Structure 1
Amino acid sequence: MLEIGMRKDWITLTVTTYRNIALLLLCLTAGIVDVIGYLSLGHVFTANMTGNIVLFGLAIGNSWHLAVLKSLTSLIGFIAGVIAAAVLVGNKKKSFWPPAVTAALVIEGAVLLLFALFSCFFAESISVYVLIMLLSFAMGMQTTAARKLGVAGISTTVLTGTLANFFEDLTARFYKSDKRKQFTRDAVLRALALVLYCFGAVIGAFAEPDYKFAVIWLPIIIILGIMLCAFTMFHGYSEEKNQ
């Protein structure tokens, strides 16, 4: 019985670790996508809506009409993605990895693939607003899907709250020693989310001069890998837990 219990604990730890890695990799994709939007689509954020709203207000204040339209397009696309994902995952029962989250990521991957094809084969003729809409819609879907998992409050694109939570956790570790263990895992995950988002931005910045839109294939590959884990590991694990 002890051996069986240890094996179940090991499986739980392993699957949970894979889920956390998948969530952190989505932060990496958001960093890459934001850099593509900012450097290649006319200085607009397609994942970080806090920054995009600031740019929107700045453009209005300075009468930059094209910049206003780009930021507004990104905001509308993101909202549309959030609404679409909310329809998929909003009313579903919470579980380790809801199948609806995988469905949302499938749609996100398809939208990013569409962006990759448009930017590769129709770069000269496709409207920049279409490309902005595609990226921001995908990030809206990803944000809501990630929030449904409820892991350390990470949404993969809204990092201001993640940053605040991390330093709140860090402060609590010094002043509330009785809660130290409670905060350790979440604090580490939040720190890694920030680091990987930044690392994604670094990758996008290095790739942009020579490859520009081609770097979008990295987020697509990451999402495909996450989907594979979801189909082979996460859904099965969820079913086992409910038995």
Structure 2
Amino acid sequence: MTSVACRHVIILALCLTSGIVDVVGYLSLGHVFTSNMTGNIVLMGLAIGHAEGFAILRSLIALVGFIMGTGFAAVIIGRTTDTSFWPKSVTAALTVEGGFLLLFAIMTLSDSSPSETMIYLLITLLSLAMGMQTTAARRLGVAAISTTVLTNNLANVIEDVVSTIRGWVRNNHFPSIKWDSMLRLAAIVIYCLGAAMATVAERSYPLAIIWVPIVLVALILVTAVTYFPKLESIGKKASGVKNS
């Protein structure tokens, strides 16, 4: 697999992670989104309108945790001058994300029905992780895909469809479909798949599905540490031979 194709797979895996995490938060942590902040802010507005104190606090904690996660990732990634296809700073940010997810899983091993206080801490961990992931994925800049903001992805898909139809009307044939368009559509479908998987799993094994995102992030980190450096080394050698 080429480095480009591998990065595409990784972005889609992160979309799957977001879908799972959002459902875990919504079904098991008091109807709160820890990945999709648009939905979370809507829920917070509804809670304010109904004067539901606990619901307001949960959504607020998720929002603050997400902001802190994006901030932490921004500090780690910074204004890096690393122009490689996989900057080391992205690996560092995803490592921290994996740590938050793992801590969440460990804390829920012995108790699938956490107390209200524990719920606040669990919401914080998931929202921190998703904030880290959002910034790390944005740094990669794959097809302008956001792994946590579906609205933006959907808008891009619609724009791609309109552009394709316009090309067909003008030239009397369908232009070739770009990979970026396929990836944006796939991101939405896979996010939905993750949500469906988590919904089914949460019925019988509450909170256990969180191990799927942990495994995915771990595989991504292994790939980043072992596979990408080899590809980059091969690319440099090939470039050196070409220049000589």
* C-alpha contact 1:97 1:238 (8 A) present in aligned 2: no
Residues 193 and 100 of structure 1, relative CA distance in 2, 3 Å threshold: same
User: 1:149 is matched with which residue: 128, 140, 146?
Assistant: 140
Does residue 1:185 correspond to 2:179, yes or no?
Answer: yes
Cα deviation code 1:145-192 (max 9, x no counterpart)? 0000010111200110110001101110110358945x6111100001
Shift of 1:242: 5.5
Q: Which has the higher helix share?
A: 1
CA distance in structure 2 between the partners assigned to 1:166 and 1:64 by the alignment: 36
TM-score (structure 2 length as normaliser) = 0.89
Aligned to 1:79: 67
* C-alpha contact 2:97 2:129 (8 A) present in aligned 1: yes
* C-alpha contact 1:98 1:235 (8 A) present in aligned 2: no
- Aligned 1:150-165 pairs, distance under 5 A: 150-165=141-156
Q: State the AA in 1 paired with 2:197.
A: I
- Aligned 1:55-204 pairs, distance under 5 A: 55-93=43-81, 94-121=83-110, 124=114, 127-176=118-167, 180-181=175-176, 184-204=178-198
Q: State the AA in 1 paired with 2:202.
A: E
Aligned to 1:10: none
Aligned to 1:214: 208
Aligned residues: 230
CA distance in structure 2 between the partners assigned to 1:235 and 1:159 by the alignment: 31
User: 1:226 is matched with which residue: 198, 213, 220?
Assistant: 220
* C-alpha contact 1:81 1:138 (8 A) present in aligned 2: yes
- Aligned 1:5-20 pairs, distance under 5 A: 14-20=2-8
* C-alpha contact 2:3 2:85 (8 A) present in aligned 1: no
CA distance in structure 2 between the partners assigned to 1:240 and 1:99 by the alignment: 18
RMSD of aligned alpha carbons: 1.8
Aligned to 1:51: 39
TM-score (structure 1 length as normaliser) = 0.89
Unaligned runs of 5+ in 1: 1-12
Residues 160 and 34 of structure 1, relative CA distance in 2, 3 Å threshold: same
Helix, strand or coil: the match of 1:121? Answer: coil
Helix, strand or coil: the match of 2:5? Answer: helix
Shift of 1:90: 2.8
Shift of 1:237: 2.8
User: 1:235 is matched with which residue: 225, 229, 234?
Assistant: 229
**Share of identical aligned residues, percent?**
51
Unaligned runs of 5+ in 2: 238-244
Mean Cα displacement is larger for which, 120-129 or 108-117?
120-129
CA distance in structure 1 between the partners assigned to 2:94 and 2:144 by the alignment: 18
Helix, strand or coil: the match of 1:157? Answer: coil
Cα deviation code 1:202-222 (max 9, x no counterpart)? 000000011111110010001
Q: State the AA in 2 paired with 1:185.
A: W
Shift of 1:43: 0.2
CA distance in structure 1 between the partners assigned to 2:43 and 2:61 by the alignment: 12
Q: State the AA in 1 paired with 2:125.
A: L
Cα deviation code 1:84-128 (max 9, x no counterpart)? 001111311243111111111111111100000011135546611
